[in-house]
Amino acid sequence: MLDFLKKPIFLIILAAALIAAGIWAYVSNRNKTKEAEQVAESRKQAAEEVVISNLTNIDTTYLDADIKNQLTVADTKAAENNRKNQLVAVVVQLPGSLATASGDSGYVYSASSDKVNNWMVTISNTSGSFLRALVPKEDYLGDLSAINRDFWKINYLAALQIAEKNGGLDFRNANEISDLKLTLKNGDPNGWLYWFVIYTAKSDVKQFQIDANSGSLVVQENQ
C-alpha cells in the first residue's frame, strides 16, 4: 500500500485533486463576493430611491415644466374672467409627507376694477385638475400688489430646499408636520417679491422668508 502511494500516477491524481479543489474554492469565493457586491448595489439603489422620494431632495428644476403648464392654465382662466386680472400671489399647499406630485397650487389674481374680490385658480399637483373661484379679499390674503414676474427666479421647490437647509429639516425632525404652505407675494422689506415658507406642526409653527429673485434667506429680527 505504501508503495502505491509513491507511484507517479497517484501523485499526479493527488496533485490534480488539489488543483481542482483550489479552483473550486476560488470560484466559490469569487461567486460569493460577486453576490455580496450585487446585494450591496441593490441596497444602494434602493436607498437612493428612498432619498429622492420627496420634494426635499430632487433637483430644483424637476417641476419647471409642470409649473409652467399650470401658470399657462391659470393665466388663461384668469383672463377669461377679467382681462385686467394680474397675478398677485401663488400659494402652494403641501402635505406633511412632502411627497412628489402632491398638494395643490393656487394662483391668485386681482383686477383694479374689483375692490372686493380676488380671482383664484387652484390646480392639483397630482392630477392637474383645477377649480376657479371668486374669493373675498377680506377673507383671504387681502389686497395685494401685482407680481413682477421678472423677479420670480426660484420656484417653490427651490424655496422649500433653501428653507430645509436653514432649519426646516431640523424643525421637521423635531416635530410631526401636518402641512407646509409656500406663498409667493410682495412683502416687507422693500415691497420685494418673497417666498414665505410655513411649516405647521401640532403645537408649533416655523416660518422662513426667502427672496424670490436671489434665493437669499431674510433673517427675521425675532429669529
The pLDDT, as a whole number, for residue 19 is: 74
What is the separation of C-alpha 117 from the centre of its chain, rounded to a whole number of angstroms?
A: 32
Closest C-alpha among 209, 87, 84 to residue 146: 87
Integer Cα distance of 202 and 98 in angstroms: 16
The pLDDT, as a whole number, for residue 152 is: 97
| Residue pLDDT tens, the chain, 223 long | 545 445 566 566 656 666 766 676 666 677 666 676 776 666 656 544 445 469 999 999 999 999 999 999 999 999 999 999 999 999 999 999 999 999 999 999 999 999 999 999 999 999 999 999 999 999 999 999 999 999 999 999 999 999 999 999 999 999 999 999 999 999 999 999 999 999 999 889 999 999 999 999 997 655 4
The pLDDT, as a whole number, for residue 83 is: 95
193 touches 185 (CB < 8 A): yes
Residue spans of the domains in the chain: they are 2-51, 64-218
The pLDDT, as a whole number, for residue 33 is: 66
Integer Cα distance of 187 and 126 in angstroms: 29
Question: Where are any strands of DSSP class E within 62-129?
Answer: 86-95, 104-110, 117-124
147 touches 193 (CB < 8 A): yes
The pLDDT, as a whole number, for residue 165 is: 96
The pLDDT, as a whole number, for residue 23 is: 73
DSSP letters of 169-194? HHHHHHS-EEEEEEEEEEETTTTEEE
* Helix segments in the chain, DSSP class H: 2-5, 8-51, 64-81, 156-163, 169-174
- The residue behind cell 386680472 is 85
